[in-house]
Amino acid sequence: MRTIINRDFTRLWYGQAVSKVGDYVFNTTLVLWIATKLGYHKSWAAGAVSGVLISGLIATFAIAPAAGVFADRWNRKRTMLRMDAIRTVLVGGLAAIAFIPADKLPVGVWLALIYVIVFAVNAAGTFFGPSRMAVVPDVVNGPAQIAKASGITQSTDALAGMIGPPLAAPLLFAAGVQWAIVINALSYAISFMMIRTVPIPDNAPTAAERSGSGFWAEFAAGLAFFGRTRVLVVVIVSACIANFGGQAMNTLDVFFTTQNLHAAPKLYGLLGMAAGAGAIVGGLLSTRAVARIGTVKAVWTTVGTSGLLVLLYARQTSIWAAIPVIFLGLLPVAMVNAAIEPLVIQVTPRAMLGRVASVITPVISMTQLGSTVLIGWLFSTVMVRFRANVGGLHMGPIDTMFTITGLLFLAAAVYAYLMLPRDGITAPVETAREPELAET
């Protein structure tokens, strides 16, 4: 196995890379299974498919804030191992049940099983994610390597998003839904085995350190710290502004392809491939970019650059011109994502990393969901017949929304520029405690 940064991070990375591909295969398989098998030619199929997304989002909103407290209280290595074990059993159990012929159980039972498993898997993920982010400083050395690790993670996630979905369809239709689900169960098992070999210091507080504090006190302390830390507030506000606009593009891009770019629907995938390639390259380039300009400046410069490229993308009328623009547009998006994680780690005491991560994730997810609902409503009602001429430019409904998206990115960049400190970031004072290597 080729070493990335160092041997311990390589093992952590390898487990997560396999797990991410498995997640994409799993989610795409469930969507295809419902749409083409369980709900084929049924009027309720679209709603049933959306239930997969809703189940995962509910788990994130309901569990993540509490999960952050426990991620800080529990041994993080053991937490990751247990969550991988739980997800292996849950997904493996669904795969075993899927060997039963579909017509032997009512469709409602199948859907209930799917939604419960998706909820539980995502709930386990809300414990795993903060713990994984919090152990990164334990397996790499210093801010430069943290930034590099974050960039590699961003590129890996983008690559998994390009590999996983295309694998799902042939697995489902050639091998059967059972084997497509088994792939994800095995991916969690591989992640478990990789993490088990990584030595990680024990972060769990002693009984004396926990005395006098309870769950609600620690939960409130995490929220209070987040609220009074300007860098964290600026990061989440900027991220929400940009994600609100970015989700509008995800929602409408297929219509932009056919209506504004005058391309056949089958060419829509080319834009997705270009965006994925941009995210991969941007993540790989982020280490040098962030090191050169610093994490603070990287946030507002990359978000602002993305905004300008989105404005350019909105004016395209040919898919062949739009492809390089969307590729370039995703470069800075991946860079800012890679800059945010080391910035959060830099300003947050290690004992609170889990709680801080568990505030950011559900807030951004809620923003994306709200954007999807609002944009879908606007596009089908208020904006359906919108036409305007601005400065000699003809504006239709979709390019107008994309233009607003670009302006939202620029607004987020200006806000970050004005509010983030110019004189560098001061690391928080940590409570000294001799770390012990976590046992498995």
Residues 132 and 272 in one domain: no
pLDDT for res 112: 93
Domain identity same for 192 and 226: no
Are residues 420 and 238 in contact, defined by beta-carbon separation less than 8 angstroms?
no
In a domain, 211, yes or no: no
Q: Kindly give, in sequence order, each residue whose CB lies less than 8 Å from that of residue 185, ignoring residues fewer than 6 positions away.
A: 22, 87, 88, 91, 92, 95
Is position 170 within any domain? yes
Structure confidence by residue, pLDDT tens digits, 145-174: 888 888 888 788 888 888 887 788 788 888
Question: Is pLDDT at 287 greater than 80 in this prediction?
Answer: no
- 240 and 366 fall within a common domain: yes
More confident residue, 436 or 60: 60
Per-residue model confidence as pLDDT tens digits over 227-253: 888 889 988 888 888 888 877 787 788
In this predicted model, what pLDDT tens digit does every residue of 44-91 receive, in sequence order? 887 788 788 888 888 888 888 888 888 888 888 999 999 999 999 999
The more confident residue out of 254 and 407 is 407
Distance CA 246, CA 203 (A): 36
Residue 194 belongs to a domain: yes
Asked whether residue 279 falls in the same domain as residue 369, the answer is yes
The b/e string for 20-56 (b: 16+ C-beta within 10 A; e otherwise) is bbbbbbbbbbbbbbbeeebbeeeeeeeebbebbeebb
Tell whether 182 and 244 lie within a shared domain. Answer: no
Is the same domain home to 271 and 324?
yes
pLDDT band at 431 (very low <50, low <70, confident <90, very high): very low
Confidence at residue 283, expressed as pLDDT on a 0 to 100 scale: 79
Q: In this predicted structure, what is the pLDDT of residue 115? A: 93
Query: Is the same domain home to 193 and 243?
Result: no
The residue with greater pLDDT, 439 or 322, is: 322
pLDDT reported for residue 80: 92
Average pLDDT over residues 417-429: 70
d(CA 310, CA 410): 10
- Residue by residue, DSSP assigns 104-138 as GS-HHHHHHHHHHHHHHHHHHHHHHHHHHHHHHHH
Domain boundary pick from 131, 166, 200:
200
Residue 130 has pLDDT above 90, yes or no: no
Nearest Cα neighbor of 404 from 257, 248, 258, 260 is: 248
Question: How would residue 427 be classed by pLDDT, with cut points 50, 70 and 90?
Answer: low
Q: Which residue range(s) make up the domain with 282?
A: 221-422
pLDDT given at position 440? 47
Provide the number of structural domains found in the chain: 2
Q: How far, in Å, CA of 66 to CA of 395, rounded? A: 45
CA nearest 38: which of 106, 119, 118?
Answer: 106
Residue 437, SS3?
strand
- Whether the pLDDT of residue 330 is over 80: the answer is yes
Residue 335 in any domain: the answer is yes
Are residues 430 and 203 in contact, defined by beta-carbon separation less than 8 angstroms?
A: no
The residue ranking higher by pLDDT, 430 or 333, is: 333
Classified as helix, coil or strand, 388 is: strand
Last-in-domain residue among 200, 235, 252: 200
Residues 6 or more apart whose CB falls under 8 angstroms from that of 328 comprise 278, 309
pLDDT at residue 436 in the model: 45
Residue 32 lies in a domain: yes
Q: Which pLDDT band, with edges at 50, 70 and 90, does 254 fall under?
A: confident
pLDDT, position 200: 85
What pLDDT does residue 96 have? 93
DSSP string, 236-258: HHHHHHHHHHHHHHHHHHHHIII
Please report, for the domain that includes residue 369, its CATH number. Answer: 1.20.1250.20
Tell whether 239 and 330 lie within a shared domain.
yes
Distances (CA, A) of 42 to 9, 39, 45, 49, 233: 47, 5, 5, 12, 45
pLDDT at 437 over 50: no
- 273 part of a folded domain: yes
- C-alpha distances (whole Å) from 321 to each of 11, 38, 261, 306 are 40, 40, 9, 17
Whether the CB-CB separation of 340 and 299 falls below 8 Å is answered with yes
Q: Which two tokens stand for residue 16?
A: 């997560």
**295 and 337 fall within a common domain:** yes
Looking at residue 407, what is its pLDDT?
A: 92
In this prediction, residue 215 carries a pLDDT of: 76
Count the Cβ atoms, other than its own, within 10 Å of residue 186. Answer: 17
Q: What is the pTM of this model?
A: 0.78
pLDDT of residue 210: 54
Same domain for 196 and 226? no
Mean pLDDT of 391-413: 86
Flag whether pLDDT at 264 surpasses 90: no
Region 93-122: mean pLDDT is 91
- Mean pLDDT rounded to a whole number for the chain: 83
Alpha helices (runs of H) in 98-214, residue ranges in sequence order: 107-139, 142-170, 177-196, 207-210
Same domain, 193 and 242: no
110 and 248, same domain (yes or no) = no
* Contact (CB, 8 A) for 252 and 402: yes
Q: Is residue 411 part of a domain?
A: yes
Q: What pLDDT score does 153 carry?
A: 84
d(CA 261, CA 263): 5
- 168: number of CA atoms within 13 Å, CB side? 22
pLDDT in tens, 297-324: 888 898 899 999 999 999 999 999 999 9
Rounded to the nearest 10°, the torsion over CA 277, 279, 284, 285 is 110
pLDDT tens digits for range 177-194: 888 899 889 999 999 999
Distant-in-sequence, close-in-space partners of 213: CB < 8 Å, separation ≥ 6: 221
Predicted pLDDT at 81: 94
Examine residue 405 and state whether it is found in any structural domain, yes or no: yes
